[in-house]
Structure 1
Amino acid sequence: MAHGRSTDKLPVEILLKIMRLYIEDISETEPHPHHYRWLQITHVCRRWRDAALEDLAFLKGTGEEARQTSLSIEGRVPTGDRETRRKLDLIAGNAARISSLDLTASTDFFLCLGQQSGSRMAQLRELILEREVDNHAGGTDDDQLLDVFLGSPLTKLLLRNFAVPVFEPLLSSTIRNLALDGEYLEVTTEEVLMTLSKLPELRYLCINASFGRSMAAVAAVDPAATIKLLALEELQLTVNSIEDAKFLTSIDAPHLRYAEFDVDCTEEDNIQPAIQLIAPLLRKLSARGLCRAAQFEAPNFDCLDIKFAKGLPTPLTTSPQEEGLHITLKNLPWPSLNKALHAMKVHFKYPLKAIEDLIIVDGKYDYCACPAWYMMFARMHGVQTLRLQGRAIDTMRYGLGFDTQKGTYRILFPVLRKVILDSVQFRPPQPQSGTPFIQDHGINRSGNMG
């Protein structure tokens, strides 16, 4: 501190009070990438640092408060880690203070943690665990693997590579966020429904697992019964087979505002049933006015990304308050794309009618699927704004007219008011291609077009 400044005359008590307030303020903020951020204040001046070090009461009080402060622990303990014992002691010795634990470790580490921890984690609210892939990962023989976390008032539970019988004892009515993930995790529709039936306050659900047969004993669930998830707002689901989405028919989430589906279309027979299972959710979102805009994008020839949202353009960008429905169709060659577009035309009939703003983003569009695109666009009677970017023009290469059958011709979007063409490339007119793109609709009908 420069000599002669007014702060140099402050009493030690004032300096310590400022330091204490600063430490308390830093403790309440989000974790900082640079550890020990609170030490920055000790570099303001030597007198400030000396005042803190020489005042034993201050140090004692700070230490006592620190021992009562809740902890947030994040880390990874790989197999063979030389510091495994120290990390075990750190977690087990502070079990009663931990409020958030984000840990990646082996099965043996979790077993040792349960054996060593002397007290329950009474303050634990957020639990994020990843089980390393080993001989036990995803198994069902370690039912007591997570017993150290029993009785914790969990609100967030994110698990990777843990079988249902292992984490089932942790399920409670306080949980609001649940994510189940794991390449070696196999669950059944019955297990998922049993899990959801125990979580009445659930707001966020993410499942990325392999659905199939399981030898584990599962509580009986009536397939005809409906599980009401009145608090559920967000759903994310990876669909590798039709079995993965069957549980959707048994849940009722009237306040759902956003759903995201990642669908593997390797097996063509799964495409139509998967879209059929998603359709009821889309209809409910559309009925609430959350799907008035649609965006299609083909980043690759075998991938199609579809977003339904409340409006354009900002609602289609990623945001914490995203609303609507997002579907990604992967491993989708041309014949499968035709099936997907046909399935959407049939099962998304009413939501497609409600679309007012349509965006097709630049991408890789197979011209062979053009007739299927037209058949689906024909359902969109309410489109008022159309935006085409780059190669998206290939989805409408015959213009804004539509030939349903030979000799039958009509305008594709009857109430279209505005067309935005962004970096599109027009092909020279061909005898078999009909009238030019804009001539079909825009220039002849409305001066507002273009």
Structure 2
Amino acid sequence: MSDRALAAAGVLCVLVFVGTGVPVGGQATPGGGIVDVSVGGSGVVTGTVTANGSTYVWQDEPIDVSATFRDAPEFTNYCVWLGYERADAPPQELVDECDPKALSDGTNGTSEFTNVTWPSNVSGEQDLVVEVQGRSGEFNATLLDRETVPVTVITRTGDADGDGLTNQQEAEAGYNLSNADMDGDGLNDGPEENRYGSNPQKADSDGDGVRDGVEIQRGTDPTDPDTDGDGLADGTESTIGTDPTSGLTPVWLAGLVVLVGGMIVVGGTRFRGWWRERGDGAAATDGAPADGESSAPDGSGTVAATDSEQADGPQRTDEPLEPLTDEDRVEALLGEHGGRMKQSRIVEETEWSKAKVSRLLSSMTDEGTVEKLSIGRENIVSLDGHGPEAARSPHEEHPQEENASD
């Protein structure tokens, strides 16, 4: 009788699940069981960040699986099986035959499965499974251990995180395959790289103090710190209330900002000098020099500040990034999709709960930031001025609009 027939009769079976080229400790049973399992080969996606400890593997590339198990005193013959399973389907085999092993007492055995390929219809989250069974007689088998490890099977042209970049592009760039917005700036990685030219790994690509998502919402360039070229950074203009998209900011205002900044530096330096002199005078009154200073040759107890001390001024610090509010993120998403989206799509893109999105949109509608129109069972959400034709008054103009994003 073949090994296959024995397996059908319940003979020893080992299914192994593994991590990316790194040994994973098995839940070994007392006196026998899986010691460790590893996976490698060209099918393992490397150099990227993934979520939930899942190993990402290419569907069109083979993997190698190695499973080591411990001898059980009551058995001499063993069999190891490799397969996969998911929550909504029964376990399936990845190899046609089990790997038979015979071990002497107190030894370990290793089963090697090489060039293992995935069925063409398998993708997404799976569990790679390894089972080890002890065989006694022709038809008697006992399950000794079972190990499962999460894997995610992906195609090169697919988009695992839905960010607008293919899995192949993200793997080559070393991006996170499970996070659509790596830097949390309100823009998905695909639009950042393909449409706006900003850095999907840096929340403020141009360093002007404004997050990329907020810049798109305001109409400024996330790759240019001074969108309108008026000499004031976009973040500074937002702070003082001028238009960062208009080069008509008065020259005197830009000069005033520079002047005020200079006055702060000069004033701070003079204050430091006055405070130092005050401390020196107090030290002289006490008959001792101030800490860190030596007495003057004439015994006055004061010494002029050194050049390095006079050069000290307030240290320049970068402006902190403006926090991206939930409202900002919704407006940025709507801006990315032509001003209109289905409410259900907003839930998918933000990964927020339906209740949170509903409350937030109701608040934004009350404030006049967005408009909502119910069409059947679906709500269409739009920025002010981007509503569907059916939502407009018959007396309003009817500009050309883009279709709502699916």
Normalised-by-shorter TM-score class: under 0.3
> Which one has a bigger Cα radius of gyration?
2
Tell me the TM-score normalized by structure 2.
0.25
Tell me the TM-score normalized by structure 1.
0.23
Q: Whose helix fraction is larger, Structure 1's or Structure 2's?
A: 1
Structure scoring higher RCO (CA < 8 A, sep ≥ 6) equals 2
